Amino acid sequence: MEKKLILEIRVTIDGDEISRLSGPGGSVVLIPFGGTAAGEIFRGRVCPGGVDVQRVNLSGVRHMLARYMLEGSDYTGAACRIYIENNGWFDDGSVPAVFRTVPAFITDSTALAPYLHRNCFVGEGIPDDQGVLIRLYEVAAPQ
């Protein structure tokens, strides 16, 4: 699969803000985060309220759903926001060194809307000491 990097999001996490719950039906962790974003299409920051929800079911499958909004400027220099909903899952319940995701976007940027409002994107996350680096890619449409 051919892919082109369009955006990197440096996620920063405050460990004191993480919420956890474990029960007979599985477990869930809510991880609020902030950060910055930069790439060929956009530059800006993660707005307050971003959260990564990780749920492990009784079969040991970990489902990750991150929802957050970016605020900054698009490649034309126009102020805009981009909402991102990023989904991923891991079969054994643990988070691998590099994990894959499927992002979906909503934006008020007139320049970015025709590009982002389609389903031809994938993501990857790389955990590190400060948080996570999220890379979002455009993937080539099947021929």
Which pair of tokens denotes residue 48? 């307050």
Q: Tokens 């034309």 identify what position?
A: 76
Q: What does the pLDDT average to over 121-139? A: 90
Structural domain boundaries, residue 42: 3-139
What is the CATH number for 122? Answer: 2.40.160.20
Alpha carbon distance 102, 8 (integer Å): 14
Alpha carbon distance 33, 52 (integer Å): 8
Alpha carbon distance 104, 121 (integer Å): 8
Q: Is the CB of residue 58 less than 8 Å from the CB of residue 23?
A: no
Alpha carbon distance 23, 111 (integer Å): 46
In 14-120, at which residue ranges do the beta strands (DSSP E only) sit? Answer: 19-23, 26-38, 42-46, 50-56, 62-74, 79-90, 99-107
Question: What pLDDT is stored for residue 143 in this prediction?
Answer: 56
Question: What pLDDT is stored for residue 131 in this prediction?
Answer: 83
Total count of domains within the chain: 1
- Chain segment 88-124, per-residue pLDDT in tens: 987 765 666 778 899 999 999 999 999 999 879 999 9
- Chain segment 41-84, per-residue pLDDT in tens: 999 999 999 999 999 999 888 899 999 999 999 999 999 999 99
CA R_g for the chain: 16
